Amino acid sequence: MSSIFDDVDVSSFPPLNPSLMDHQRYEHPLVQRYATKEMSSILSPAMKFTTWRKLWLALASSQRELGMQISEEQLDQMKAHLYDVDFEKADEYERKFRHDVMGHVHAYGDVAPLAMPILHLGATSCYVGDNADIIVMREGLKLIKTKLVKTLDVLAKFANRYKDVPTLGFTHYQPAQLTTVGKRASLWMQDLLLDYDRVNHELDNLVMRGVKGTTGTQASFLELFDGDHAKVKRLNELVCAKMGFVDDTTGKIKCIAVSGQTYTRKIDYYVLSALGGIAQSAYKMCGDIRLLANLKEVEEPFESNQVGSSAMPYKRNPMRSERVCSLARYVMSLPANAAHTHAGQWFERTLDDSAIRRIVIPEGFLAVDVILNLLMNIGDGMVVWEKVVERHVMEELPFMATEVILMECVKAGGDRQELHEAIRVHSMAAGSVVKGQGKSNDLLERIASDPLFAAVHDRLHALIDPRLFVGRATEQTKEFLEEEVMPILEREKEALDKAIVDGVNV
């Protein structure tokens, strides 16, 4: 059987329409379709390589402070060219030397020739590579924290608005005791609060690799300072301080105590675990929304011209929630990869960590950033169809109210065992009508016509007011918002005031 590709050389696809010429390379969907400008900027080559230059400047200026023969003119040239990175020239040097760090050393030296003799002095590639990675992760976590706070703010408004709207609770995805719409949202927020705490923990405990040398022994720096251990130790402290790794409370330098050539890759695992935790929370929330959308109780934002299905025009699919779950599933897989990378490092270092870290760390940050933008968008525009919610409650509530009805009749002088048997019989019959005939639950009508329950006939409907069956859900939601969420939002007011640059690609 012939194929449409029989006459096509798929290795080159000739002849190509000119409009296709710019689209022959694979484009990563996480970057091209989803990533925000904010996080993309943090993870960009511009951020990476200007950070390398700042690290070289921090090293050289600290070495000068400690007595090395480095002039102000050399430092001035380095400062003047922190941001004018010639990427083409650096790539050219990298192809020549087969080494990315040396490519950028020479590109920097071209624009700061006075400093070329002292650039990267005593350092190994991991001085710029590892320290820059830590700095990028720090900035990424700061952005994630900001968006976590904004997400909590959006969901807090939603929870407060619907804190006293009764809804069916579900266990095993079967109708259970009532809760409220707001209380359910508080469950989503509780998970995100734990994530907020975890992100704060990682930010507070993130440490630089610092100035450690080729195998972590600082031997090259000890040589530069003629065996002066105090100066080598001070060099490490100065560089870390200049790159912002100082505890605000204690003033202590935040630097890994000991390392091999690289900082321990366990740090990557901890950071990706924090991101994976956010992904778990997001998946749980959006999974609930997808199920509620099927019940027609909740609907995520839907644009006026949005198409739910190319074949079924009436559909309003929960596309944002599905996208969150899709991205979250990927992020949740990344901590395991980081764990294997850490476990597989031999002695002072092996290079089998390099390629995979270039992929999983940026992608973890990019994906979680998108996820949080989506959660904000969903929470801000989520519609609750209260009449549908109420109908579902009233379909199940008669069964749940039978104990209250029974107790009220007993208090009026009825026989508990006789009443219990009557309720059992009526319940079974009502269940058969619902399941076997597809009709509405008629349990209340059956009870209303049974003389055994005459004591409650005049107040039967009052006994099944849904608000009587939500327990402390309303109060729990108010207390949760006031005691747990609002203090964080007050503390993070500066983060709440920050503008979000990107919208949401539906």
Question: Is a pLDDT exceeding 90 seen at residue 401?
Answer: no
CATH of the domain at 439: 1.10.40.30
Phi first, then psi, for residue 355 (nearest 5°) are -60, -45
Q: Which domain holds residue 457?
A: 401-469
Start-to-end C-alpha separation, the chain: 40
Same domain, 258 and 360: yes
At residue 66, what are phi and psi to the nearest 5 degrees? -95, 15
Name the least confident of 4-13, 81-90, 231-240, 253-262: 4-13
Q: Does any domain span residue 359?
A: yes
Structural tokens at position 261: 């050539």
| Residue 124, pLDDT above cutoff 60 | yes
Is-catalytic flag, 125?
Answer: no
Contact at 8 Å (CB) between 349 and 305? no
Same domain assignment for residues 246 and 365: yes
**Three-state secondary-structure class, residue 299:** strand
Give yes or no: residues 212 and 283 share one domain.
yes
Q: Which of 88, 106, 121 is the last residue of a domain?
A: 121
Q: Are 90 and 208 part of one and the same domain?
A: no
Query: If you ran DSSP here, which 8-state letter would residue 482 be given?
Result: I
Residue 145 sits in the same domain as residue 199:
yes
pLDDT at 384: 96
Question: The tokens 């901590």 sit on which residue?
Answer: 335
Comparing C-alpha atoms, which of 396, 391, 404, 389 is closest to residue 443? 396
pTM here is: 0.90
Write the CATH number for 99.
1.10.275.10
Clarify whether residues 131 and 231 are in a common domain: yes
Catalytic residue among 309, 354, 440, 449: 309
**Is-contact 101 128, C-beta < 8 A?**
yes
Catalytic residue, chosen from 3, 12, 172, 310, is 172
Taking the C-alpha atoms of residue 506 and residue 363, their distance in angstroms, rounded to an integer, is: 20
- Mean pLDDT over 342-348 rounds to 96
Q: Is residue 20 part of a domain?
A: no
Return d(Cα 460, Cα 470) in angstroms, integer: 18
Q: What pLDDT score does 497 carry?
A: 85
Last residue of a domain, one of 342, 357, 383: 383
Between the CA of residue 405 and those of 179, 391, 453, 457, what are the distances in Å? 20, 21, 8, 10
Nearest to residue 146, comparing CAs of 506, 492, 485, 488? 492
Residues 147 and 234 in one domain: yes
Q: What span, in angstroms and rounded, lies between the C-alpha atoms of 300 and 289? A: 8
Do 260 and 180 share a structural domain? yes
**Cα distance between residue 369 and residue 287, in whole Å:** 19
The pLDDT score that the predictor gives to residue 316 is 76
Most confident among 22-31, 223-232, 403-412 (mean pLDDT): 223-232
Q: Give the C-alpha distances (Å, rounded to integers) separating 254 from 53, 151, 239.
A: 21, 30, 11
Alpha carbon distance 32, 156 (integer Å): 32
* Average model confidence (pLDDT) across the chain: 91
* Same-domain pairing of 428 and 346: no
- 448 is a domain residue: yes
Q: What is the CATH number of the domain that holds 342?
A: 1.20.200.10
Has residue 5 been placed in a domain? no
Residue 12 is predicted with a pLDDT of 55
Kindly state the average pLDDT of the residues 141-169. 97
Least confident of 203-212, 285-294, 489-498: 489-498
Judge contact between 160 and 381, C-beta under 8 A: no
Percent of the chain having pLDDT more than 70?
91
Residue 405 domain-assigned (yes or no): yes
Is 309 a catalytic site residue? yes
Task: Please say if the pLDDT value at position 392 is more than 70.
Answer: yes
Q: What distance in Å separates the CA atoms of residue 291 and residue 289, rounded to the nearest whole number?
A: 5
The residue behind tokens 């020239």 is 89
Question: Does the residue 392 lie in any domain?
Answer: no
Neighbours of 185 (CB within 10 A): 27
Write the pLDDT tens digit of every residue in 58-81: 999 999 999 999 999 999 999 999
Q: Given this model, what pLDDT does residue 506 score?
A: 40
Strand 166-171 with 174-180, pairing? antiparallel
Tokens of 378: 């969903």
Please indicate, yes or no, if residue 490 is contained in any of the structural domains. Answer: no
Question: Residue 251: CB partners within 8 Å, gap ≥ 6?
Answer: none
Return the residue matching tokens 């694979």: 26
Say what the pLDDT of residue 78 is: 98
Residue 230: how many CB atoms within 10 A of its CB?
9
173-222 pLDDT tens trace: 999 899 999 999 999 999 999 999 999 999 999 999 999 999 999 999 99
Looking at the structure, tell me whether residues 288 and 406 fall in a common domain: no
Q: Please give the pLDDT value at position 132.
A: 98
Instruction: Note the pLDDT of residue 400.
Output: 82
Last residue of a domain, one of 121, 136, 157: 121
Q: Which two tokens stand for residue 32?
A: 């091209």
Tally the C-alpha atoms within 13 A of residue 98's C-alpha that lie toward its C-beta. 0
By three-state DSSP, how is residue 247 classified? coil
Q: Give every CB contact of residue 259 below 8 A, 6+ residues apart in sequence.
A: 209, 210, 212, 216
Residue 359 to residue 367: CA distance in whole angstroms = 12
In a domain? residue 35: no
The more confidently predicted of residues 436 and 6 is: 436
Q: Which two tokens stand for residue 24?
A: 């022959």
CA atoms within 13 A on the CB side of 353: 25
Band (445; pLDDT cuts 50, 70, 90) = confident
Shared-domain flag, residues 220 and 359: yes
Q: Are 443 and 399 in contact, with CB atoms under 8 Å apart?
A: yes
Give 162-176 as a DSSP string.
TTT-EEEEEETTEEE
Contacts of 37 (CB under 8 A, 6+ apart): 501, 502
Total domains, the chain:
3
200 & 256 share domain: yes
Contact by Cβ (8 Å): 485, 193: yes
